[in-house]
């Protein structure tokens, strides 16, 4: 099928518009090919240089290492150090399985990212075809999916966002398959969809967009029984999964999630969510902002309020906006929004003549911008050489006279050294320490007793050294400097070693 076969002139009067639309679609296809090439180069450089591997990836990997050693969700404070997370267990268990199979921790995380990205794209293509989008347009949509910074950087960042998105989209595929058989008394696709949605929630606890949109869609179609069955099976699966995780964690998981769930957020933070949301989609990830804007405009123009893609976009937009009310939320939470926007754009593409001009034009601009951004990322990664920086920091830490654990802002460092990280998540530590200063007493005592082989801090802590009411780290670092001295700086990373007693 030709890449332009989804554009067919309707009458003689439409010929000029159709010719313009076809020309723009050809440009869109070239732009899509460009982003694929740039994406491949970026992926290769990122794998080699750990260009996308940040603190969050270290947290996920630490959880997997703990699980491999039989500790699912370490205690908040223990001899291991500090825990505290709100990350779902599915990605952790998959990663732990690869580690158990002998795959190095970081490599295993990268492999999961590549596999889940492929699964998400395969699910997106299948769903588009189920929604009667031509295969040629569906292929272009997959390329536009890669245009988003959140997608490109998420593949090798070792996070569960793409895993959750893949499970959500395959759940929607099952839902559409069930809807294609409205007369069937029972469709096995309903429990399959519920399981996919439940697994998505167990990957990323905020991944509820698929189940909410699917349930509302069944209700708008007046298929109440299917909506009830879907919701009931989903709730049952989630409850069973929660009980299993609670048992496997020796009764810790629920208490840990209760302590860390909001990460310092709350109703008062929701007022700050809209500015942060719009900043992220229009400044930090323009591809998401561009496609989301086009999707909203098409939605308002067509007003097909009961379409699955419409319901999904509304639910995902409102849900993502609310998520940005939680401190620390970043662009990785935009993957679902990018997928929902592209689904609506693809389905509505043939519904109006102007859409066939506006969509290719906007898509081409967004993708060309994304290609340039990818090449910019490659240049940055080659200049920074993150992996070399981490290796140099570990080499400096090896000069310490103490043989204890490493205290690091980035948990990747101890992992690369073959050790278990002492601090799981420095941001969550700060949240919990502010709630109860006794929480951080063990860390303060360990610093005073020079328990750590080295203290290695990165750009976040060094750039936020001014004491603030909501940040306990400046005070902790001042205490640290009483017993540790700066011995080296590797690009953005500072290495402190114990002072002679």
* pTM of structure: 0.90
Rg (CA), the chain: 24
102 Ramachandran zone, left/alpha/beta (phi>0; psi -120 to 50): left
**What pLDDT digit, counting tens, does each position of 341-367 carry?**
999 999 887 665 556 667 777 777 777
Question: What is the full DSSP assignment across 172-221?
Answer: HHHHHHHHT-TT-S--THHHHHHHHHHHHHHH-TT--HHHHHHHHHHHHT
**What pLDDT digit, counting tens, does each position of 370-404 carry?**
888 888 999 999 988 889 999 999 999 999 999 99
CA dist., res. 195 & res. 73, Å (int): 23
**What pLDDT digit, counting tens, does each position of 306-339 carry?**
899 999 999 999 999 988 877 667 899 999 999 9
pLDDT at 11 (0 to 100): 44
According to DSSP, the β-strands at 484-490 and 454-457 are unpaired
CA dist., res. 395 & res. 120, Å (int): 39
Residue entry with tokens 């794998």 = 47
| pLDDT-derived band at 461, boundaries 50, 70, 90 | low
CA dist., res. 201 & res. 56, Å (int): 18
Strands in 286-389 per DSSP E: none
CA dist., res. 121 & res. 128, Å (int): 10
User: Looking at the chain, how many residues does it have?
Assistant: 501
Give the H/E segment covering residue 454.
strand 454-457
185 CB neighbour count, 10 Å cutoff: 6
Between 325 and 73, name the one with better pLDDT. Answer: 73
CA dist., res. 230 & res. 194, Å (int): 6
Contact (Cβ atoms closer than 8 angstroms) between residue 476 and residue 444: yes
Strands in 74-176 per DSSP E: 77-78, 81-82
What residues form DSSP beta bridges with 490? 493
């Amino acid at each position: 099928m030709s890449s332009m076969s989804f554009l067919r002139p309707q009458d003689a009067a439409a010929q000029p518009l159709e010719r313009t639309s076809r020309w723009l679609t050809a440009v869109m296809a070239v732009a899509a090919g460009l982003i694929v090439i740039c994406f491949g180069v970026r992926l290769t450089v990122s794998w080699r240089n750990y260009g996308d591997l940040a603190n969050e990836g270290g947290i996920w990997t630490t959880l997997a290492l703990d699980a491999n050693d039989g500790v699912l969700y370490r205690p908040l404070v223990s001899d291991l150090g500090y825990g505290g997370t709100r990350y779902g267990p599915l990605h952790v268990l998959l990663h732990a399985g690869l580690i158990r199979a002998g795959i190095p921790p970081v490599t295993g995380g990268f492999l999961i990212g590549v596999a889940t990205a492929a699964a998400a794209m395969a699910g997106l293509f299948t769903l588009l075809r189920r929604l009667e989008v031509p295969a040629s347009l569906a292929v272009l949509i997959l390329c536009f999916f890669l245009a988003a910074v959140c997608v490109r950087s998420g593949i090798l960042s070792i996070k569960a966002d793409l895993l959750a998105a893949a499970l959500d989209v395959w759940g929607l595929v099952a839902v559409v398959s069930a809807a294609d058989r409205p007369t069937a008394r029972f469709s096995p696709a309903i429990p399959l969809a519920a399981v996919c949605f439940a697994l998505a929630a167990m990957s990323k606890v905020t991944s509820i967009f698929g189940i909410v949109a699917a349930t509302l869609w069944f209700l708008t179609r007046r298929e109440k029984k299917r909506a009830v069955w879907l919701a009931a099976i989903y709730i049952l699966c989630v409850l069973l999964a929660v009980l299993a995780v609670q048992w496997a964690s020796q009764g810790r998981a629920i208490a840990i999630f209760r302590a860390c769930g909001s990460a310092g957020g709350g109703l008062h933070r929701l007022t700050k969510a809209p500015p942060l949301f719009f900043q992220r989609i229009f400044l930090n990830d323009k591809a998401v902002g561009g496609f989301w804007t086009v999707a909203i405009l098409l939605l308002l123009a067509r007003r097909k309020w009961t379409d699955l893609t419409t319901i999904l976009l509304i639910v995902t937009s409102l849900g993502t906006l609310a998520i940005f009310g939680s401190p620390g939320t970043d662009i990785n939470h935009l993957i679902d929004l990018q997928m929902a926007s592209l689904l609506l754009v693809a389905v509505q593409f043939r519904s109006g003549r102007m859409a066939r001009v506006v969509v290719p034009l906007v898509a081409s601009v967004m993708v060309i911008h994304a290609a340039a951004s990818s090449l910019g990322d490659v240049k940055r990664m080659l200049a920074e050489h993150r992996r070399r920086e981490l290796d140099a920091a570990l080499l400096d830490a090896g000069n310490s006279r103490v043989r204890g654990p490493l205290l690091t802002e980035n948990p990747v460092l101890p992992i690369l050294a073959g050790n278990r990280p002492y601090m799981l998540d420095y941001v969550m530590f700060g949240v919990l320490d502010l709630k109860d200063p006794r929480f951080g007493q063990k860390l303060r005592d360990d610093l005073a007793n020079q328990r750590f082989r080295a203290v290695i801090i990165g750009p976040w802590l060094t750039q936020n050294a001014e004491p603030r009411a909501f940040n306990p780290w400046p005070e902790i670092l001042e205490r640290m400097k009483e017993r540790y001295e700066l011995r080296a700086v590797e690009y953005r990373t500072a290495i402190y070693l114990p002072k002679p007693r």
